Structure 1
Amino acid sequence: MKTIKNIAIAAGLTIAALPALAQAQDGEIGYAKGSLAYDALVAGDNEAAVQKLEGERLTDPAVMINLGQAYARTGRPGDAAKMFMAAMNSNRSFDLVLADGQVVNSRKAAEIALNSLNGRLASR
């Protein structure tokens, strides 16, 4: 049986969908409260998310993806891409529940996030 974990903002999901989800669940299923910086990301406190996630295990794809999102939001697209690629290439993978409720493999979530980042950069 695969473990399903939850991730906050993976794949560049729109903020509009997040407040309802934040009320519906704690946002960090299978993790200690705050370990994915879910609340900080939802609140748009991206610097706090970066500080929190840089102190976490960077071997966990969920942490890497959320840190990548925080990096992207703070103007660090190169660091964001590195985190998404590390999550894609991680020797660990598991299913994640995205902020929109979609369940995807962590590698796929990282790929979606990287593609979204590349699309935003290309449209500048």
Structure 2
Amino acid sequence: MKTAKMLGIATGFLLVATPALAETPSGEIGYAKGALGYDALVAGDNQTALTQLEAADGVSANDPARLINLGQAYKRVGRAGDAAQMFRAAMNSNRSFDLVLANGTVVNSRKAAKLALSEMNTSLAAR
């Protein structure tokens, strides 16, 4: 089973609550560095993350970890519709595997996508 490190759900909260996460050298597990835009997302460099994720360099365009991180990047730059589309695509993917979130939690990619979509919908409804 492939395990990927990806940006965790509610990463902004996690980074504020545990700033050491931003200082810990990390990245993608089982992917080329930058393939999932992880370090750029953790650093808050959303444009670099988008460039990396949209290029899908060495990663299937339908890879659930890529889709979830792309959704996170879209959400951060105000593209909620595109973010929701990415989260739904990851939820409905015929591929799924365990992901290591930024907080160290291991969760199935479908569940991570569902949580990300739910969190986004909750934050939009609260506006």
How much has 1:12 moved relative to structure 2?
A: 2.4
Q: 1:29 maps to which residue?
A: 29
- Percent identity, aligned pairs only, is 61
Within 5 A, what are the aligned runs for 1:39-78? 39-56=39-56, 57-78=60-81
Query: Aligned pair count?
Result: 122
- Runs of at least 5 residues in structure 1 that lack an aligned partner in the other structure: none
TM-score of the pair, normalised by structure 2: 0.88
Write the letter of the residue equivalent to 1:116: E
Q: 2:5 maps to which residue?
A: 6
Which segment drifts farther, 27-36 or 9-18?
9-18
How much has 1:39 moved relative to structure 2?
A: 1.3
How much has 1:18 moved relative to structure 2?
A: 6.4
| Separation of aligned partners in 1, 2:4 and 2:18 | 17
Contact preservation (8 Å) 1:18, 1:99 = no
How much has 1:19 moved relative to structure 2?
A: 4.5
TM-score of the pair, normalised by structure 1: 0.90
| Separation of aligned partners in 2, 1:98 and 1:23 | 16
Q: Extract structure 1 runs of 4+ deviating beyond 6 A.
A: none
Higher relative contact order (CA 8 A, sep 6+): 1
How much has 1:3 moved relative to structure 2?
A: 2.7
